[in-house]
Structure 1
Amino acid sequence: MISLASGYGNFAVPAVALQAATAVLTSAQQRHAPLAVSPIGGLPELREALAARYRQRGARGTTAEQVLVTAGSKAGLFALLTELLEPGADVLMPTPNWFGFYEMVRRAGGQLRTLPLAAADNYALHPEALRAALTPATRLLIISNPNNPTGRVYSQEEWAAVLAVTQDFPELWVLSDEIYEGICFGPEPVPTLLAQPNPHGRHVVVSGFSKSLALAGWSVGCLVAPLELARAVEARLFSTVPPATVLAQAAALAATQHAEAISAALCAQLSQTRPVLLAGLAALPGAPALVAPEGTYYVFADFTRFLDPALPAALASAQAVQQLAAGGVEVVDGATCGAPGFARLSYAVPETELRQALARMQEVFAPLAV
């Protein structure tokens, strides 16, 4: 089996991060002392480094007190959702989107509604569609930028158009998942929600270090929220989860201080496999035109032409994924992201494996072509 389904890349741990973590271990060994335990909100120096980086990206008012470092991004995200959402709270999410949000919102007590976007216009989030989907009772809008699974990057102008709508809903919180912000192949850096006008003080960003900064497995994430909300989430974290380890935070601090260089190196590595996957998908039978995604290390491939028309869309999508698995290729079923008939494929894999996976996909799909 060759897996193109993993959300983690085949990236070496950055040398600066390893050196920083090693220094922490060496110090503990030399002092014959245990590792220190971090405050629940994170080491002050890491919180300040993250705040400084957001200020450099245009979020000029961001302070270290607004930043929380968490034991993985999911822990922080779930604490945030449980703090924001009352039972039955209305949550709106444009789809396709990361499959994890569905269950997380449910477990936090919310009721998730989707706003389906179309591949035909490259998943544009039209302001008029957003306005029609929002209600005065909607508590939270979730947007991923760059988007997982589509790789779509929403520009500064698109953010402005979205926020021109949300500002008319003063009780609405806007949450931007920006964990892939450093993996970008477009002409401009990925804009952060924190740099946008925030008249009601209800913008929140969640992020982490496992994607753009190659710290998969270190279990360290972060979120940035208005001060009152940040303090409430911090209190919830204190009551429910341990802090991120000082070892992981030392690595995260070094990665933050060298973020641009690390992300640039990852993009250079991915630039070798990205065209291989795009070309391989274009060579499949009946391949539709594909807009190359600007962000993440995924392509959200349209396989609807290979589905069994006699089955419901979700079942047909699952069947296609099972056929690929039987042929030796594991992918993420787009139905889990709100788009049956599509599949999320990662190109953050060795090139030899990717080429073999594409050859196997040809073998699976060629007999199904109409």
Structure 2
Amino acid sequence: MEAAITVLASAQQRQAPLAVSPAAGTPELREALAQRYRQRGASRVTAEQVLVTAGAKTGLFALLSEMLQQGDDVLLPTPNWFGFYELVRRAGGMLRTLPLAAADNYALSPETLRARLTPATRLLIISNPNNPTGRVYSRAEWAALLAVTREFPQLWVLSDEIYEGICFGAEPVPTLLALPDPHQRHVVVSGFSKSLALAGWGVGCLVAPPALARRVAARLFGTGVAVPVLAQAAALAATQHAEAIGAGLCAQLLPTRHVLLSGLAALPGAATGVAPEGTYYVFADFTRFLDPGLPATEASAQLVRQLAAGGVEVVDGASCGAPGFARLSYAVPEAALRQALARMREVLAPLAV
């Protein structure tokens, strides 16, 4: 906020209009982002590979539109963010899901991935940390998966890392850019609204191999406007203080994280599960509360309506590829979260079987 105010005050003092950013973003922000990726182990990332976009979704659509041709095969391990479905469709791709299981903490083995890839698969999308599950894939897990993707030279690998700064595990979230990319096919999309506390400022970013980055920049120039310099000034300040901002967010979220996990564990029939390492969500298994007389997707929607009628809004897991689950956020005041859990118990207790 202060950085944006400084830019605005300078323009007022000079009685000059605000500067207009290049379509790819201001050089200062692009270099700061490249430097941060280099600090995270991606030693070869340069500013020319970094693009600043009007939110992560705009960047994703521009990227997918340049990557995909009509009918291209896209593989998405699920559960995953519901937005990918529509973005891939509008970019011309044909999305296939690769369902993962809560029972083994959504592990994705190299063998499972190899069995689902074909020479026609154009793109693999992985979210790390995952929205909605909070699963974090380690550097070793990434390395094992990339040993498989290297067998498919025409395959792009896209890592959605927008929650990378919100992590409660022993190790920081690895970036795909820090791993070997012999075919120059790795791409990362991120943003400032989650890990860097700039919700509402509309700033996203992506990092791609130079040739692809130039094509995406040309698309952004031809189809939209650059992110306002005020927002980019705020994003630059956030980038320069990213580690401190992330640590502060995690410290702020720890109490409500504990409240939500404890509250869910106290519900009827709750099984012992693995606490999510990333994001500020818990993807709760409510399959035991579903109406067995309905198809899973309909029963899941019914349960979400029942919770809403009881005063609790959740995201239906069916929208993420997992009917009967619900995405719950603990990025809320503790008092409101405790009230929501009490209301949830009132709705779910009579449904326990």
What is the TM-score when the length of structure 2 is the normalising length? 1.00
TM-superposed CA distance for 1:26, in Å, is 0.6
Q: Which residue in the other structure is 1:219 paired with? A: 202
Match of 1:334 among 314, 317, 339: 317
Q: Which residue in the other structure is 2:240 paired with? A: 257
Match of 2:120 among 113, 137, 141: 137
Letter paired with 1:279: S
Q: Which residue in the other structure is 2:63 paired with? A: 80
Q: Which residue in the other structure is 1:313 paired with? A: 296
SS of 1:249 mapped into structure 2: helix
> Is 1:25 equivalent to 2:11 in the alignment?
no
Q: Which has the higher contact order (CA 8 A, sep 6+)?
A: 1
Count of aligned pairs between the two proteins: 353
1:112-261 equivalences in 2 (<5 Å): 112-261=95-244
Extract structure 1 runs of 4+ deviating beyond 2 A. Answer: none
> Is 1:104 equivalent to 2:75 in the alignment?
no
Which consecutive unaligned segments of at least 5 residues does structure 1 have? 1-17
Letter paired with 1:337: C
Match of 1:279 among 258, 262, 278: 262
> Is 1:39 equivalent to 2:11 in the alignment?
no
Between the aligned partners of 1:63 and 1:366, the Cα distance in structure 2 is: 54
TM-superposed CA distance for 1:290, in Å, is 1.8
Task: Describe the superposition over 1:195-223 as per-residue Cα deviations: whole angstroms up to 9, x where unpaired.
Answer: 00111110000000000000000000000
Between the aligned partners of 1:96 and 1:69, the Cα distance in structure 2 is: 27
Q: CA RMSD in A?
A: 0.5
Task: Describe the superposition over 1:150-189 as per-residue Cα deviations: whole angstroms up to 9, x where unpaired.
Answer: 0000001100110010000000000000000000000000
SS of 1:299 mapped into structure 2: strand
Quote the sequence identity (%): 81
Q: Which residue in the other structure is 2:277 paired with? A: 294
SS of 2:51 mapped into structure 1: strand
SS of 1:329 mapped into structure 2: coil
Match of 2:52 among 69, 72, 96: 69
Between the aligned partners of 1:74 and 1:116, the Cα distance in structure 2 is: 23
Between the aligned partners of 1:221 and 1:312, the Cα distance in structure 2 is: 38
TM-superposed CA distance for 1:272, in Å, is 1.2
SS of 1:232 mapped into structure 2: helix
Between the aligned partners of 1:35 and 1:75, the Cα distance in structure 2 is: 23
What is the TM-score when the length of structure 1 is the normalising length? 0.95
